[in-house]
Amino acid sequence: MKKYLPEQSVEQIAEWIIKYDFKLKIKKERSTRLGDYTSPHGGLNHTITINHNLNKYAFLITLVHEIAHLVTYNQFKNSVNPHGKEWKQNFQTLIQPFLTLDIFPLEVFAALRKYMQNPAASSCSDLHLLRTLKLHDESSDTVFLEYLPKDALFLFNGSRIFQKGEKIRKRFKCKEISTGAVYLFNPLAEVEFFEASNAQSAG
Cβ atoms of 58 and 28 within 8 Å: the answer is: no
| 21-45: average pLDDT | 89
Picking from 191, 197, 201, the residue whose alpha carbon sits closest to that of residue 162 is 191
Least confident of 36-40, 103-107, 116-120: 116-120
Cβ atoms of 24 and 17 within 8 Å: the answer is: yes
| 98-119: average pLDDT | 95
Under the banding of pLDDT at 50, 70 and 90, the label for residue 140 is low
Does residue 46 carry a pLDDT above 60? yes
| 73-94: average pLDDT | 95
Q: Is 157 left (phi over 0), alpha (psi -120 to 50) or beta?
A: left
pTM of the model: 0.78
pLDDT attached to residue 201: 41
Q: Where are the domains of the chain?
A: 7-134, 143-202
Under the banding of pLDDT at 50, 70 and 90, the label for residue 200 is very low
Question: Would you tell me how many other CB atoms lie within 10 Å of the CB of residue 55?
Answer: 16
Fold exhibited by the domain 143-202: SH3 type barrels. (2.30.30)
Under the banding of pLDDT at 50, 70 and 90, the label for residue 124 is low
| 52-75: average pLDDT | 96
Cβ atoms of 83 and 121 within 8 Å: the answer is: yes
82-85: list long-range contacts, CB under 8 Å, 24+ apart: 82/121, 83/120, 83/121
Q: What does pLDDT average to over the chain?
A: 90
Picking from 78, 80, 76, 114, the residue whose alpha carbon sits closest to that of residue 95 is 114
- Assign domain 7-134 to a CATH class: alpha beta
- Helix residue spans in 37-149 (DSSP H): 56-76, 85-95, 106-115, 127-134
Under the banding of pLDDT at 50, 70 and 90, the label for residue 159 is confident
Rounded to whole angstroms, the Cα distance separating 51 from 72 reads 22
